[in-house]
Each structure stands twice: as C-alpha cells, then as structure tokens.
A = this chain, B = another copy of it.
Amino acid sequence: MTRTFAFDLDAFRKDLDGIAIEDNPALVKQKSRDFFWYSPILKGQLEHVTGDLVATPKDEAEVIRILKAAFAHDVPVTPRGGGTGNYGQAMPLSRGLILNLAEMNKVKAIHPGRVICEPGAIIAQIDKETRAHSGQELRLHPSTYATASIAGYVAGGSGGVGSIRWGGLRDIGNVLRLRVVTMEAEPRILELTGWELHKVMHAYGTNGIITEVEMPLTAAYDWVDVLVGFDQWMDTVRYCDALGNADGLLLKEIAAIAAPVPHTYFLRHQKFIPEGKSVAVLMVAPHAMDAFLAFTARAKGEVLFRADTAADPKGLPPAYELAWNHTTLRALRVDPSITYIQTMFAPPTHIEKIETITRLFGDEVPGHLEFVRFDGKITPMGLSLIRHTTNERLEEIMRLHEENGCPIFNPHRYTLEEGGMKQTDLVQLDFKREADPKGLLNPGKMIAWEDPSFDFAAQKTYLFPGLQQTG
C-alpha cells in the first residue's frame, strides 16, 4: 500500500489567514528536525526530510482552525514541541504542515499534587513556576529538561529523571489528563483520563493533537548532583542496584556509566573523574545526604564530585545532562562515530545479564544503565553506547542482545512499533481510526495504520512508502 499526499498548498494557506506561518525553506527545515542523527541509520533515512510550512497557533481555537483546514485540503500535519526527540518523532515524512506548539506554553493552574499546562510549556519552566508557587515539581523529566515541551514529552517520551521513583510515563497516574483535538471535518475536543490516556500517549501525535496537559507534581528539593566512582564496572552496577532498592533513600536519578566513558566524554567534569573509573551519576535529596554518604562508604564507592560542597560548580552541566540521552550526546560530540541502543535487563537476573553482555562486547558496547522502577521493581534499562562500525554489525549487536534475553527498544527506527514492543497497539490504532480517519496526522509513524499486513516477526525494517524522496 503506497500512500501519497497531494494537496494545494496555496489554497490551504489561505484558510490559515491570521495564524503565524513560516515558509522560509531553511527555517522550515530547521523546524522539521529532531535528534534523529544520534542514529546512523535514521541519519541516512531522514536527513533530507522537511515540511512545507510551519504554523504556530497561539491557542486551541487556532489549532482547531488549522486542523479543519488541513482536513479539508488533505494536508499532512506533524505536531512539534521542543523537537528534542531522538527517533524522528516530530519529522514530517510526507512533507505538509509542521504544527509548532511552542507558543502555547503557559502554565495555567497549579494545585496540590498537580499542574495544568498548555502543550508547548517547557518542562524546566513548569518546574520553575510550580516551585515558586508551592515547592512542587514534576515527577519525571527528560535530560532535555531545559528545552523539551510537556506535550512532546508525553507524546514522544517514555521516562527519564525521576523514573527511579515513579516508573515511566505510561504507568497509570504519571499523566493525569490530556485534552486532545481530533483531525476531522469538524475537529472534536476530548478529555482523556485513566486508561484512556494510553490512546494518545507515546503515539507521536499520530492520532490527535494535545492542547492541554495535566500532570502530577511531587515535592521539589534542591537535588544534589553526585558522581560516585568505582574501579570495576560491575561494582558500579551492584552499587546502583542496591541504592535503588534502598527504600529510605530519596534519589531522583541513578545511572551507571562504564569507564572510559565518564572520563573521556564528560569533558567539563573530566577533572573530577580519573580515567579508569566507572561512575554512578546521581541526584540525591539534600536531607538524604548523610544517610546516602554512609551507604556509599559501606559500598566502598568513592565520591568523586558532589555539587553541594564543590568549590565552583557553576560552569558544570547538571547531573541529568550527563544521563539518559545526554550521555549519548556527550559521547557523540567527542566521537561522532558513537551511537547507542536501548535494552532492558529484567530482574531478578539483571546482574547476570549485564555481566553476560559486558563479557560479550567489552568496550565495543560501553555500559550505560538507567535504573528505573518497572512494574514495581528496580530495573536497569540499558542505553548502551556503541562504537559504530557498520549498520550490519549494529543490527547484529541488537540481535545478540535479544538472543541473550535482553529485549531491544530500537532507537534506529522511526515507527512506533519498531521502537517499542514490535506489535500493533490496538488502542492507539482504534483511536487513530476515530480521530484521524484520513490518516493525515504524522504519516508513516504507525505501521499498523500504514500497512496492517506488516509482519513484525520477519525482522525486516519497515520503510514507509510515503517517505519523501531525497533531494
């Protein structure tokens, strides 16, 4: 099944009269990109992708006008927040309109335990306002805290800093309510709560446009960034695992990163990190520091850096910008051949699995683990770095992970299914049928819609026929 979109751009534009529009090709291309280039495979596939126009609505009424016009003119619409995704989530594979939600960025209301925002609100700005209002902050944020939008995070992210305490975005309770506009002749406004949220969460905007987000808040603290070093990688892993399971110690982030990554790629922290050290990157509640230090001393961890007593921590990036995909970013900046994979080391045999993978690949796949709660259990998620040689070897590395019981969430694919559970998400598909009957929202990202007969078991990469041609 080949999908193409033919539309009259000028006629569509006329319907957008009064709405902020950008059509300078260089600026449109800038707003058509995310961090897809972390992946050498996506870099090859998506480098040329661009939209035709960028529309920047100032409120929900304008969003509805835009969607109505796009529906009438069969124009593909790809929503965009901060553009901080890594899998082409916000990239318009079939050209059309970029729906830039950056100007809908207000924090609308703050209550005990919850905040209501416009979709383009920047996560760090939300925290700034909720902290000032009542000492509260979001439970979870990506390492792109300073630039990511809240709806982009909900639509394209899965977890991050805070997941050690709260699990992932998909865990019920971590998003409270989404207001969504459908892509129909007469767009409807829906309010989703409870299980219904799964219809549009992590759907890349393929089946509705989020115009309001209600998120839970938790107590804000002046988290202390700490780096703890070990001579042995597996000691770092065991330390992080035990730390995550220490129920009385309040931490917001626990990552383990194998030598030589920390010394070699964390340039601004380099002076604190001896070359051979594997490092735990941590964010610790200030009132937990005494107990944390006692715990760490008993585990024979060496505190290499702590921001609360550091002589001059001002020029240093925050700990969360050493973690999650910022680890990858810092490595890429020094060595552009680096890429990464995402995997999971499921308990109770997580330690053994990590040992196996470490033995199998050594420094070709430097360890990077993010410890999170998953179904109630502390679970190391791998965001392992890869010293990339060929795409074939990259596929082989992923295959060897799966053969050793470590499922891959493939960051080298632009579709929802291949990057996730490798199966059709019927809840999301059904909602797309209802909310985007013409399939105009972010085309090419949901295989179940584009090619219902696609065989996930065949291990072949899905190539969206509607992907615009190079040049």
Q: Are A250 and B287 in contact (CB under 8 A)?
A: no
Tell me how far the C-beta of A107 lies from the nearest C-beta in chain B, rounded to whole angstroms.
16
Tell me how far the C-beta of A40 lies from the nearest C-beta in chain B, rounded to whole angstroms.
34
- Segment from A9-17, A290-298, A333-341, A415-423 that makes contact with B: A290-298
- Kindly supply a per-residue 1/0 record for chain A positions 370-389, scoring 1 wherever the CB is within 8 Å of any chain B CB and 0 otherwise: 00011111100000000000
- Segment from A54-62, A166-174, A263-271, A405-413 that makes contact with B: A166-174
User: Residues of B contacting A168 with CB < 8 Å?
Assistant: 247-248
Would you call A5 an interface residue if the criterion is a C-beta within 8 Å of the partner chain's C-beta atoms? no
Q: Are A177 and B245 in contact (CB under 8 A)?
A: no
Q: Are B248 and A195 in contact (CB under 8 A)?
A: no
- Segment from A110-118, A275-283, A307-315 that makes contact with B: A110-118
Q: Are A171 and B247 in contact (CB under 8 A)?
A: yes
User: Residues of B contacting A218 with CB < 8 Å?
Assistant: 219
Known contacts A216-B288, A286-B113: does B173 contact A249 (CB below 8 Å)?
Answer: yes
- Kindly supply a per-residue 1/0 record for chain A positions 129-160, scoring 1 wherever the CB is within 8 Å of any chain B CB and 0 otherwise: 00000111001000000000000000000000
Would you call A244 an interface residue if the criterion is a C-beta within 8 Å of the partner chain's C-beta atoms? yes
Q: Are B194 and A290 in contact (CB under 8 A)?
A: yes
Would you call A221 an interface residue if the criterion is a C-beta within 8 Å of the partner chain's C-beta atoms? yes
Interface centre among A167, A249, A290, A291 (most CB of B within 10 A): A291
**Contact partner, A114, options B136, B174, B195, B287, Cβ 8 Å:** B287
Would you call A18 an interface residue if the criterion is a C-beta within 8 Å of the partner chain's C-beta atoms? no
**Contact partner, A248, options B171, B219, B250, B286, Cβ 8 Å:** B171
Interface centre among A114, A195, A287, A373 (most CB of B within 10 A): A287
Q: Are A291 and B377 in contact (CB under 8 A)?
A: no
User: Residues of B contacting A172 with CB < 8 Å?
Assistant: 246, 248-249, 291, 294-295
Would you call A193 an interface residue if the criterion is a C-beta within 8 Å of the partner chain's C-beta atoms? yes
Interface centre among A113, A171, A246, A376 (most CB of B within 10 A): A376
Which residue of chain B has its CB nearest to the CB of A286? Answer: B113
Compute how far the CA of A218 lies from the CA of B250 in the bound complex, rounded to whole angstroms: 10
User: Residues of B contacting A348 with CB < 8 Å?
Assistant: 348
Compute how far the CA of A191 lies from the CA of B180 in the bound complex, rounded to whole angstroms: 55
Would you call A41 an interface residue if the criterion is a C-beta within 8 Å of the partner chain's C-beta atoms? no
Q: Are A112 and B373 in contact (CB under 8 A)?
A: no
Known contacts A167-B247, A195-B298, A376-B247: does B173 contact A292 (CB below 8 Å)?
Answer: yes
Q: Are A248 and B174 in contact (CB under 8 A)?
A: yes
Q: Are A112 and B287 in contact (CB under 8 A)?
A: yes
Would you call A234 an interface residue if the criterion is a C-beta within 8 Å of the partner chain's C-beta atoms? no
Q: Are A376 and B166 in contact (CB under 8 A)?
A: no
Known contacts A134-B135, A248-B171: does B194 contact A287 (CB below 8 Å)?
Answer: no
Would you call A332 an interface residue if the criterion is a C-beta within 8 Å of the partner chain's C-beta atoms? no
User: Residues of B contacting A376 with CB < 8 Å?
Assistant: 244-247, 377-378
Q: Are A173 and B288 in contact (CB under 8 A)?
A: yes
Tell me how far the C-beta of A90 lies from the nearest C-beta in chain B, rounded to whole angstroms.
25
Knowing that A173-B249, A193-B291 touch, tell me 10 more A-B residue pairs with CB under 8 angstroms.
A113-B250, A135-B135, A136-B219, A139-B248, A171-B249, A172-B294, A173-B250, A173-B288, A247-B376, A348-B348
Q: Can you show 29 pairs from A to B with CB atoms below 8 A apart?
A: A112-B135, A112-B221, A112-B286, A112-B287, A113-B221, A113-B285, A113-B287, A114-B287, A134-B135, A171-B248, A172-B249, A172-B295, A173-B246, A173-B248, A173-B249, A173-B288, A173-B291, A176-B290, A193-B290, A193-B291, A194-B290, A195-B298, A216-B248, A216-B250, A216-B287, A216-B288, A217-B287, A246-B376, A377-B377
